Homo-oligomer: A and B are copies of this chain.
Amino acid sequence: MEVDIESKCIQKGVRLTEQRKLIAKVMSESESHPDVAELHKKVGKFDSKISIATIYRTVKLFEEAGIVSKHDFKGSKSRYEQAPEEHHDHLIDINSGEITEFVNEEIEKLQKQVAEKLGYKLVDHRLELYGSKIKK
């Protein structure tokens, strides 16, 4: 079970406001990877006064606190997801935009090896697969 975002804020010393609680709730309940506009829209159902600037400030704050992760997939706006317990990468359906998460230890290992062979310590990486559904 994932610890909810609100708990993580407390744990990280992030001050909780009504707006932040609401954004946290909406993000926790998103099964997808919403962008700022989508978050603003969803949050707006509960608090129509909330400003888009607050959404921007909050996702940035959460990201800097390690509570959410930001992704910039090809050809779309920044998307956010609750920071996962263990790392995963993404496969994006080029037709529907649907996002599937996956983990592949073998690739992870090879990436580290490649970096080391080139004289680098691997600090971060980005792996995204873009594909189209195979119809059975």
Give A contacts to B, CB under 8 Å: 72, 74, 91, 93-94, 100, 102, 104, 106-107, 110-111, 114-116, 118-134, 136
Contact = CB atoms under 8 A, between A and B. Distances in A.
A133 B120 contact: yes
Contact of A106 (B72, B74, B110, B136): B110
**This chain's copy number in the assembly:** 2
Which residue, of A122, A125, A131, has the highest number of chain B Cβ atoms within 10 A?
A: A131
Nearest to A119: B134
A71 to B, nearest CB: 10
Given A120-B134, A124-B94, A107 B111 contact: yes
Given A94-B124, A106-B110, A118-B131, 9 more contacts: A72-B74, A74-B124, A91-B115, A107-B107, A107-B111, A114-B129, A119-B136, A123-B132, A125-B127
B104 A123 contact: no
A123 B128 CA distance: 11
